[in-house]
Each structure stands twice: as C-alpha cells, then as structure tokens.
Structure 1
C-alpha cells in the first residue's frame, strides 16, 4: 500500500503533460489528508485540480467511527467496496502526477524506506479515482490510488512486510492517459489496471527525513520538513 509519494514540481508539468500547470501550492511530499494535484477530463475540458489524498478524508469520517485508510483501492474489489464503488461505476477516473513513490523494504531485517519511479527519473501518472464533497463554500475533491497484486513482480515483490501480500500502484504510459480518462465502461477501465514492467522502473534506498510534519488540521501543514 502506498501512503506517501512525491508529485512533480510545478515547473515540470509542461514537459510532463498538456494539462494545465497547477495554480496552487502543494507539499513536496504527499501523505494522507494532504492536498495534491490530480488531472481530470470533464466535458472534454482538461482540468488540474487540488484534491485530498484519501478517498474519504479523515475529517469526513463520522464521529465515533474508527478511523480507516482509503489512500489505495484494490483493483480486485474496487467495484464492491463502499468507499470506492460509486466513483468506479460512475467512471470518475483521474491521473495522479508522480515523480516517485515510497515503499518499505525489509531485506535488511528492518523497514527501510525506498524511492520508486520510472527509468530516467521522468514524471509519470498513477491511475486513480476521485470524488466530490459538498462544502459550505463550494465543492472539494478527494482521490485514491488504484493497486494490483504484485506477488510475482520482480521489483514490487521486494516491498512491504514479510508475509504480507505484495501490491503495486498502477502506472500508466503517456499514450494511455487520454484513453484511461475517457474510458466508457468499467470493463474498459479495468483493462488499464496492470503491472508496469520492472525493467522500465528504478528503485533505491531513501531513508525517511528525521522529521515529517503530519497534518494537524484541514489539509494539514502545507509543507513537510
């Protein structure tokens, strides 16, 4: 499960995609409940919107309900789980711009944070779902990342706790972006939910910074340190 990633810096967007450059600030690393850019197609218009990482942000969980995580949606059950099924069936698909994402590696016997990306270090997009929330001052968005089983993937099987199922985010190729966003059925959308070739990826140890400021209020602190 991916719970932390780094989006491209704003000045890289023009080289990454023809979607608009974000007109809002976002942290250099994204954690649960942080705001980050997502890319959508709405009535033919390309939109780059701020959205909260977690399909159901913590502030939306009713009082008395145990806090649960919705940063990742399993491809196998995305159409059945209450947190995601409505967005999936409505084809509320998005692209999540990413420079690298982070996973724990236990090969030393202890968890070591690793940085994972696409060869050459170029930005890429992760397949995601979005939903809208009605607020007193307008509409806000949230999103989740889609994942697939990676037990047999040469690279992604190296991550997560020993004995746990191995999972991978769904990385899309640039030529797939428009087709993913414009999928006309859930069957068509599901055809994109595949593992990315290990030989086209890179991974390296990237120990966590000594201090990371987690969210304390709506949207959290703007920048992690």
Structure 2
C-alpha cells in the first residue's frame, strides 16, 4: 500500500480551499515517508478546517516501546478501523483529517517487474486523502501530532487494481473531494464517516512511471528516524 507521497507546494495549499496561508516557519520535504512531518487538515477548535504539522504514521517510531518489534502504521484498513489498537481510539473519537497530496506512489508490475508509479488527478490539481490523527506527549512535555491514511479494497477499481504484485489484494487511498471536506471533518458518528470511504472515479485520475529518486534518503531516515532532511 501507499507508503510515500509527494506533498503539495506551499503555494498549492491555497487552492485546496481550507485556508489561505501556512505558518512561515513550517518546513516539510517534497516526498513524505514514514516519520516525516507534513501538513494535514483537521477540524479546528472553532469547527472550521485547520492546518497542523504532523508526522506520517499513527505510531511514530520514537513511541514504540523498547523491546517491541517496529511496526508500520502509515495506512489504516477501513475494514478494521474499530478493531486495531493503533487506530480504534482515534476512529471512535472521530479524529478525522485529510492529507493534502500532489500525487502518491505505488508499484506497478505490468512490465513483469515492480515499476514505481505516481497516481494523481487527471488535471494535475492537488487533492486530499482521508485520514486519522492523534496526539502524543513528548519527552520534553510538548505535544506532537501524527496521522495515518485510510485505505479501502480496490480489486474492482479500473486504475488502482493495476497496482501492486499480481495475486495481492489491491488497495486504494480514499480521496475526499473539496466539496466534501467540511462534512467529512464534521462527522459526529462512525457510520456517517464510513459512508465517505468510497472510490474516487478512475476517469478523474491518472498514473505515470516515476523514477525512484529518494530511495537512499528514505532508507537512511528509516535507520535513523531523527534524521532531518529539511
């Protein structure tokens, strides 16, 4: 499933309709991987969409207890949101967010080998993906946020079914259209929230081969999660 994506530029965020400006001191990389910080949009204290800088992965590596084998929480399966310990509390509390993207990456095996592909909107516009967020108390007493993306089965989706290894279940991120943003963030019961977890039309999306340009940097960050890349 999707484990990295290309974030919109600062200028592109203004086209998403959630807010006009981000804090000037916010920094994030173009390509976002596990434990990297990137902007998300969630419901603010006044009920309107609000931006937050959060780390990718519901359980940051620094919060995995000593002796516990590292595990990944970049994606949350829609079918088990209410059951998985990493996601259930946020889902039941409806800590919903969207993750702004320019495109995301998946492997395609149509050539007989894995080829990294980008998936984005047909008109190249940035878009928003359904997610969950939570907060963590850090060792210095501060509070930091993290997020995950929600995925659904894509065996029947014309575009997303082309991704991943033959024989594997096909999965897809959930695109939240700009006209649905306020309603998604304002959901007050889980069944209403679940009704948003559906496929985006394939004809409004596109995919293209995308060279792997940050593999070494990502591996270095995985080995050293406190490494700063920006």
Q: Which bracket does the TM-score occupy, shorter chain normalised?
A: over 0.9
Partner of residue 98 from structure 2, selected from 95, 100, 118: 95
Q: CA deviation at 1:118?
A: 1.1
Q: Which residue of 1 is the match for residue 187 of structure 2? A: 183
The question of whether the paired residues in 1 share the 8 Å contact of 2:18 and 2:50 is answered with: no
Matched, 1:220 2:203: no
1:28-67 paired onto structure 2 within 5 Å: 28-43=30-45, 44-67=47-70
Partner of residue 26 from structure 1, selected from 22, 28, 32: 28
Alpha-carbon displacement from aligned partner over 1:170-211 (angstroms, at most 9, x marks no partner)? 001110000000001000000000011111101011121165
Consecutive unaligned residues of structure 1, counting only runs of 5 or more, are: none
SS of the counterpart of 2:80? coil
Partner of residue 86 from structure 1, selected from 86, 89, 95: 89
Q: Separation in 2 of the partners of 1:51 and 1:81?
A: 21
Q: Separation in 2 of the partners of 1:117 and 1:158?
A: 14
Q: Separation in 2 of the partners of 1:193 and 1:64?
A: 35
The question of whether the paired residues in 2 share the 8 Å contact of 1:7 and 1:97 is answered with: yes
Partner of residue 206 from structure 2, selected from 202, 218, 221: 202
Q: CA deviation at 1:8?
A: 0.5
Q: CA deviation at 1:46?
A: 3.1
1:147-166 paired onto structure 2 within 5 Å: 147-166=151-170
Alpha-carbon displacement from aligned partner over 1:134-191 (angstroms, at most 9, x marks no partner)? 1224110000000000001110001111111000000011100000000010000000
Q: CA deviation at 1:45?
A: 4.2
Q: Separation in 1 of the partners of 2:227 and 2:40?
A: 18
Matched, 1:11 2:14: no
Q: CA RMSD in A?
A: 1.4
The question of whether the paired residues in 2 share the 8 Å contact of 1:27 and 1:222 is answered with: yes
Q: CA deviation at 1:22?
A: 2.7
Q: Separation in 2 of the partners of 1:219 and 1:51?
A: 14
Q: In structure 2, do the counterparts of structure 1 residues 9 and 26 end up closer, same or farther at CA, with 3 Å as the change threshold?
A: same
Consecutive unaligned residues of structure 2, counting only runs of 5 or more, are: none
